Amino acid sequence: MLQLFVQKHGASSHPIRAFYSAGRVNLIGEHIDYNGGFVLPAAIGLGCTIYCRLNDKNCLNVAYTTTDFEGSIDYTKLDSYRDKNYLNYIAGVCIQLQDIGIQLVGIDVLYDITVPFGSGLSSSAAIEVATAYMLQSIYNNKHGIAKPIDCIQLAVICQKAENNFVGVNCGIMDQFASAMGKDNNAILLNCSTLEYKYISGNMDGLELCIINTNKPHDLTTSKYNERRQECESALNWLNTKSDKPIKDLCSLTPTQFESLAQGMNSVLYNRAKHCVYENDRVVNAVDAFGKGDIQLFGNLMLQSHDSLKDLYEVSCVELDTIVDILKAQSYCKGVRMTGGGFGGCCVAIVAKDNRDKIQQLLDIEYPKKTGLNCSIYYTNMSDGAKEIFVS
Ligand code: GLA
- pLDDT grade, residue 210 (50/70/90)? very high
Task: List pLDDT tens digits, range 228-256.
Answer: 999 999 999 999 999 999 999 999 999 99
Mean residue pLDDT of the chain comes to 95
Do 36 and 246 contact (CB within 8 A), yes or no? Answer: no
Give per-residue pLDDT as tens, 148-200. Answer: 999 999 999 999 999 999 888 899 999 999 999 999 999 999 999 999 999 99
- Compute φ and ψ for 263, nearest 5 degrees: 90, 5
320 labelled catalytic: no
285, 27 in Cβ contact below 8 A?
A: yes
Rounded CA gap, 167 and 300, in Å? 32
| Alpha carbon nearest to ligand 1 atom 9, residue | 171
pLDDT of 221 over the 80 cut: no
CA 124, CA 255: separation in Å to the nearest integer? Answer: 37
173 lines ligand 1 (CB under 6 A): yes
Atom of ligand 1 nearest to the CA of 224: 11
How far away, in angstroms, is 98 Cα from ligand 1 center?
25
Distance 1 CA to ligand 1 centre (A): 32
d(CA 154, CA 143): 18
Q: Are strands 206-212 and 332-338 parallel, antiparallel or unpaired?
A: unpaired
User: In percent, how much of the chain has pLDDT > 90?
Assistant: 91
State whether the beta carbon of 30 lies less than 6 angstroms from ligand 1.
yes
170 lines ligand 1 (CB under 6 A): yes
Residue 45 has what pLDDT?
Answer: 96
- Distance, CA of 126 to CA of 109 (rounded, Å): 15
Q: Is 289 or 363 the better-scoring residue by pLDDT?
A: 363
Considering only the C-alpha atoms of the chain, give the largest distance between any 2 of them, rounded to a whole number of Å. Answer: 70
Please give the average per-residue pLDDT across 114-140, as a whole number. 95
The pLDDT, as a whole number, for residue 168 is 84
pLDDT computed for residue 203 by the predictor: 82
Query: How does strand 332-338 pair with strand 70-74?
Result: unpaired
pLDDT at 391: 57
Residues comprising the chain, all counted: 391
Catalytic residue among 108, 174, 248, 280: 174
* 128 CB within 6 A, ligand 1: no
Q: What secondary structure, in 3-state letters, does 75-108 show?
A: HHHHHHHCCCCCCHHHHHHHHHHHHCCCCCCCEE
Alpha-carbon span 59 to 242, nearest angstrom:
53
Q: Is the pLDDT of residue 220 over 60?
A: no
Percent of the chain beyond pLDDT 70? 97
From 124, 166, 174, 228, the mutation candidate for ligand 1 (largest count of ligand atoms within 8 A of CB) is 174
Residue 338: its pLDDT value, please? 97
